[in-house]
């Protein structure tokens, strides 16, 4: 158990941006119409917004567009932004950090702490916890937490287990130091690196550098072909870990902060796929009306799923009234987190496209 309670920090706004390009799962050529229909019913994914991976749209571009609009709507002075956290495993470069690139491109003050966090689906809760911890003593006044991925780049077209699932998105959450009118934020984290091989891109890092064999497409049977620079996922292992650890981690958080389920407005589950989400919802014990989904339109957008869901499904409520929102995530690593945030009339621009 790794609990984190944030005080003196207010959530001022959330924004999101996705690629304009849409891929319809019904158009996938390597499954029959009947197989595709079954896949859509199981995963919930009908279509996805995907970048063309030629360098023209990166995760940072999606996050930047969302951030520029949010900063404008908040009427923030960029010279006051003292922290920029970029959470993604699809960075612009191996080095330098993409957060440094964004600081310069956006014209944010040089008196800014900017760094990357290389996490996937659990990244939003980790990013919020890190930024909140750095803000709450008041030395830094304003922060941007940029979370997203253009992970469709990692999926082999010939891997039916991955290709139809992954979408791309970039989000930003604006946080501000505030002693008098802060929003309560509580988190519980768990890490189990023994599961690191369950979701992995095997080659391309320092451990397994790119070599001639990295590009060879291997046939793993059951309609799955990929090379070692593309993402491998053991769905059975992910499901088993999630169904055991996510409800336990969430219960620990609820017990720690003495919060009853009846007092929660929404439970937002990382949208890996609808089958897993529904299993977790039922095991955690929340009714369907408190667990919105947008996975049918966007697929699994990794760390962006929760803030993207807030923008697409909760915009009016976020803007108009206080909300108590619980969240739970599981991601590559394995990295897992649960959180509860209390918002109060935050700025939430319409979803943007690039």
111-156 pLDDT, tens digit per residue, is: 999 999 999 899 999 999 999 999 999 999 999 999 999 999 999 9
Q: What is the pLDDT of residue 284?
A: 95
d(CA 129, CA 146): 13
Q: What is the pLDDT of residue 323?
A: 97
**Long-range contacts of residues 89-95, Cβ cutoff 8 Å, at least 24 apart:** 89/118, 89/119, 89/120, 89/149, 89/151, 89/302, 89/332, 90/58, 90/59, 90/148, 90/149, 90/150, 90/151, 90/153, 91/59, 91/60, 91/116, 91/118, 92/58, 92/59, 92/60
Q: What is the mean pLDDT of the chain?
A: 94
Q: What is the pLDDT of residue 1?
A: 61
pTM value? 0.95
Q: What is the pLDDT of residue 98?
A: 98
CATH number of the domain at 11, please. 3.40.47.10
**pLDDT tens figures, 153-170:** 999 999 888 899 999 999
What 3-state DSSP class applies to 121? coil
Q: Tokens at residue 71, please?
A: 């900063």
Q: What is the pLDDT of residue 260?
A: 93
Q: Which domain holds residue 335?
A: 1-353
Is 70 exceeded by the pLDDT of residue 219? yes
Q: What is the pLDDT of residue 234?
A: 84
d(CA 66, CA 63): 5
- Among residues 124, 18, 143, 136, the alpha carbon closest in space to that of 74 is found at 143
Phi, psi of 224 (to 5 degrees): -120, 115
Q: Report yes or no: 120 and 331 within 8 Å, Cβ to Cβ.
A: yes
Is 90 exceeded by the pLDDT of residue 200? no
**Regarding beta strands 142-149 and 169-177, do their DSSP bridges make them parallel or antiparallel, or are they unpaired?**
antiparallel
State which H helix or E strand residue 336 sits in. strand 335-344
Is 70 exceeded by the pLDDT of residue 264? yes
Is 90 exceeded by the pLDDT of residue 258? yes
Q: Tokens at residue 65, please?
A: 């567009």
**pLDDT tens figures, 59-84:** 999 999 999 999 999 999 999 999 99
**pLDDT tens figures, 298-342:** 999 999 999 999 999 999 999 999 999 999 999 898 899 999 999
d(CA 324, CA 235): 31
Q: Residues 185, 190, 193, 196: is their CA dihedral positive or negative?
A: negative
Count of the separate structural domains present in the chain: 1
Rounded mean pLDDT, 261-276: 94
Is 90 exceeded by the pLDDT of residue 48? yes
């Amino acid at each position: 158990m790794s609990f984190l309670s944030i005080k003196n920090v207010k959530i001022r706004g959330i924004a999101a941006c996705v690629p304009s390009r849409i891929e319809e799962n019904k158009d996938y050529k390597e499954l029959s119409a009947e197989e595709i229909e079954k896949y859509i019913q199981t995963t919930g994914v009908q279509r996805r917004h995907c970048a063309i991976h030629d360098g023209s749209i990166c995760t940072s571009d999606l996050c930047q567009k969302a951030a520029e609009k949010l900063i404008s709507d908040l009427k923030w002075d960029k010279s006051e932004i003292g922290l920029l956290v970029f959470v993604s495993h699809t960075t612009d470069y191996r080095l330098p950090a993409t957060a440094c690139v964004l600081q310069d491109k956006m014209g944010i003050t040089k008196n800014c702490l900017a760094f990357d966090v290389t996490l996937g689906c659990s990244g939003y809760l980790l990013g919020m916890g890190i930024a909140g911890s750095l803000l709450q003593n008041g030395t830094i006044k304003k922060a941007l937490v940029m979370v997203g991925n253009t992970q469709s780049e990692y999926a082999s077209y010939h891997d039916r287990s991955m290709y139809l699932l992954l979408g791309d998105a970039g989000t930003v959450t604006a946080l501000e130091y505030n002693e008098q009118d802060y929003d309560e934020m509580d988190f519980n984290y768990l890490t189990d690196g023994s599961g690191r091989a369950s979701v992995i891109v095997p080659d391309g890092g320092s451990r397994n550098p790119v070599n001639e064999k990295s590009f060879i497409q291997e046939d793993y049977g059951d309609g799955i072909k990929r090379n070692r620079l593309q993402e491998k996922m053991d769905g059975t292992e992910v499901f088993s870990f999630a169904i055991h650890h996510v409800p336990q981690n969430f219960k620990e958080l609820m017990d720690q902060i003495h919060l009853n389920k009846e007092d929660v407005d929404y439970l937002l589950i990382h949208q890996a796929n609808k089958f897993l989400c529904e299993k977790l919802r039922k095991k955690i014990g929340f009714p369907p009306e408190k667990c919105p989904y947008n996975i049918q339109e966007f697929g699994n957008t990794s760390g962006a799923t929760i803030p993207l869901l807030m923008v697409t499904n909760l915009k009016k409520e976020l803007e108009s009234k206080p909300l108590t929102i619980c969240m739970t995530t599981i991601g590559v690593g394995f990295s897992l987190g649960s959180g509860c945030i209390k918002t109060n009339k935050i700025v939430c621009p319409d979803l943007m496209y690039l």
